[in-house]
Amino acid sequence: MAQKQNFETNLTKQVLRSLAGLKPVLDDAESAAAMKTIQTKLLVKHDAMVEGVRKAVVPVKHSLKVVAEQ
């Protein structure tokens, strides 16, 4: 879980912001395709991490029993 959170922090604070900053400079079709490939690979990696966390977390099941006071 911590690995996923660290990845997300780095992704949002650095990588995606950097890619957005490159768009005005690299405005040709080849660069746009390269950035799209990078974004897709990052999202695939993120989705795999999310799935790993879902498998690792076990939901807690509770049972409540209401008993009248005597």
18-31 tens-digit pLDDT: 877 877 788 888 98
Single-letter amino acid, residue 50: V
**Alpha helix (H) residue ranges in the chain:** 2-10, 16-22, 29-56
Residue 44 reports pLDDT greater than 90: yes
Residues 6+ apart with CB under 8 A from 38: 19
Asked whether the predicted pLDDT for residue 34 surpasses 80, the reply is yes
Instruction: Kindly tell me if the per-residue pLDDT of 16 is higher than 80.
Output: no
- Do residues 46 and 7 touch, judged by C-beta distance below 8 A? yes
